[in-house]
Amino acid sequence: NAKSANKRIVEKTPSNSSKFVQESFALAKLYSNEKNYSSSLAVYNSIEQSEVNQTIKVAALYNSANIYFKTAIMAIENNDNQLSFPNLELAKSTYRKTLYYSPFHIGARYNLERVLQISPEKNFNEKSDFTNPERGEQAVTTMKLQALGMP
């Protein structure tokens, strides 16, 4: 069985095999070379979800993140913000997941920094001037007001 899987890999006709993860990686790479990124992502996600060792899971996650990043860059070049933003966010989260499993993964760390330069994180806890109206306490109201303790 392993010989036939290797033969399919060499002949560039691999299948998504749960038995031979190398054949699944070859299939995902073949899809990626054909610019069929959704199929490539599906194969990498199936590898990541399967019962494989952590090294293989990290490789599948890293390759998925690279596809998200590549798709985002192509969308930015085509001025397609509706496609670039979600792919940048998916790239960030997938690189972070890769670093969760392998904290010293240099490629994931470097590419996460590249993604963060393109799409920095928003700090929602930071106080900024534009969130508070300038004189909001003096706004005109038509509500009937009563002082506390007064009839």
Tens of pLDDT along the chain (151 residues)? 656 655 555 666 656 655 677 778 888 888 888 899 998 999 899 888 888 889 999 999 999 999 999 999 999 999 988 889 999 999 999 999 999 999 999 999 999 999 999 998 877 666 655 555 555 555 555 655 555 554 5
pTM over 0.85: no
C-alpha to C-alpha distance for 54 and 61, rounded to whole angstroms: 10
130: which DSSP letter?
G
Task: Decide: 65 and 34 in contact? Cβ < 8 Å.
Answer: no
Q: How far separated are the first and last CA of the chain, in Å rounded? A: 90
Q: Is 18 within 8 Å of 31 (Cβ atoms)?
A: no
Question: If residue 121 lies in a helix (H) or strand (E), which one and from where to where?
Answer: none
Residues 28/40, Cβ–Cβ less than 8 Å: yes
pLDDT on residue 115: 96
Contacts of 148 by beta carbon, 8 Å cutoff, 6+ apart: none
Residue 116 has a pLDDT of: 94
What pLDDT does residue 52 have? 85
Q: What is the pLDDT of residue 61?
A: 95
53 CB contacts (<8 Å, ≥6 apart)? none
pLDDT value, residue 81: 86
What pLDDT score does 128 carry? 56
**Rounded Cα distance, 69 and 6, in Å:** 30
pLDDT attached to residue 22: 79
* Strand extents, DSSP E, the chain: none
